[in-house]
Amino acid sequence: MSELINNTQKRKELLKHLILQLHEGKTAEAVKKQLIRLLGKIPYGVVVEAEQELIAEGLPAKEVLKLCDVHGEALKGVVDLTGAKKVPPGHPVDTFLKENEALESEILNAELILSESEKLPEGTTLTDQWLRLHQHFNNLMDIDKHYRRKENLLFPFLEKYGITGPPTVMWGKDDEVRELLKNVIDTISSTKSITAGELKTIAELIIKPALKSVDEMIYKEQEILFPMCLDTLTDLEWHEIYQQSDEIGYCLVAPQAKWVPDDLSGQVQKKKDSGLIQFQTGNFHPEELERLFDTLPVDLTFVDKDDTVKFFSNNPNRIFDRNRAIIGRKVQMCHPPSSVHLVQKILDDFKAGKQDRAVFWINLKGRFIHIEYFAMRSAENQYLGTLEVSQDLTDLRKLEGEQRLLNYEGERE
């Protein structure tokens, strides 16, 4: 029968009617059967328009939010992505999609731990599995940056085009996901081990619902939100989102390629080449300053007063791996649970004014590594954040005597 209902407006009205049946108590499975029988595949744009119109016609956004997952279940597999635009590497949507892949990997790993644990006798003490779950959920908490870029950078452009209903509903679901993940973290953090029987109960109550909520949002983004946004926003608007994304940061992965729309390349280069960063003792072009940090023979990482990672230097010989995904992440989440208490102690002492410096040194892969933390304070002695400086001192410790003559190491031919 679907071939008979080929008028877009009629299809949209029928879809709205079927969605309303969900709100009247009909099951997602029953509605999905009707959708397939009457409409076949539904273009993603029609889904967005139908939801937007229902809200405009008086269906409360809270009611849509309440049944958002049921909507998703009913529409899963029937949304038609034919004609959806492809995106180049580095484009904001490309980054969103790669983040979703990383989130799906974390979900899969957490589910594998749960599956393995279910096979063990109920009285078995689980310490390693519990610790691994903690790490995977720490990583999943990084989803906040993904959601904040979506909510604070993408949604405002949709609202400019009059698309307000779906963003409102999706933001509400984002908050639900955040709360579910936080509940899991709070539970896992409360004890160092658990029995297999206890884990089974907790998994059903809070862990599996949290994993499912993340997975369902990934589906809604990729099947409906992103294709619709690509049809709506201009390259100039996407580039504004691209330029502001670094400030919020990235979830688990970061763009590996720079993206500049072809028709904006000259405009962007001109903006990049103008202006200086002025300091009391001099100034830099932005590129000069970036290369200065990349040239220093130390690793630098800056964490602001709110414990958010804001910057790291990109020395090609870095001691510890860093990638742009940590920008905007709470520093506590960047450390394993076994050492996070040391990080917190340093931050607390710096903020309280008890200390200004903390020093460590370790042997790493045969190298002597010196790690130093400094409290950064304003002229008025207000805490601004913490600077981590790491340096490989192996070769410096071997120096003896003097070298007064010019002698280049590895001199070029």
**Strand boundaries in 158-281, DSSP class E:** 194-195, 277-279
Is it the case that residue 208 has pLDDT exceeding 50?
Answer: yes
168 pLDDT tier (thresholds 50, 70, 90):
confident
Q: What is the CA radius of gyration of the chain?
A: 26
List pLDDT tens digits, range 253-302.
Answer: 989 889 988 877 555 555 555 578 888 788 888 889 989 998 999 999 99
Mean pLDDT of 131-156: 94
Q: Which residues of 149-174 are buried (b: 16+ CB within 10 A; e: fewer)?
A: bbbebbbebbeeeebbbbbbbbbebb
CB-CB contact of 39 with 1 (8 Å): no
In sequence order, the 6+-apart residues with CB closer than 8 A to the CB of 167 are 151, 155, 158, 159
List pLDDT tens digits, range 61-120.
Answer: 555 555 455 445 545 555 555 666 789 999 999 999 999 999 999 999 999 999 999 999
Tokens of 299: 């690793």
CB-CB contact of 153 with 244 (8 Å): yes
Which range, of 74-78, 170-174, 320-324, averages the lowest pLDDT?
Answer: 74-78
Burial class (CB in 10 A: 0-12, 13-18, 19+), 19: buried
Higher-scoring residue by pLDDT: 181, 30: 181
| Confidence at residue 5, expressed as pLDDT on a 0 to 100 scale | 41
297: helix, strand or coil: coil
Nearest to 213 by CA among 239, 251, 238, 179: 179
Q: In whole numbers, what is the pLDDT of the chain averaged over residues?
A: 83
Higher-scoring residue by pLDDT: 184, 27: 184
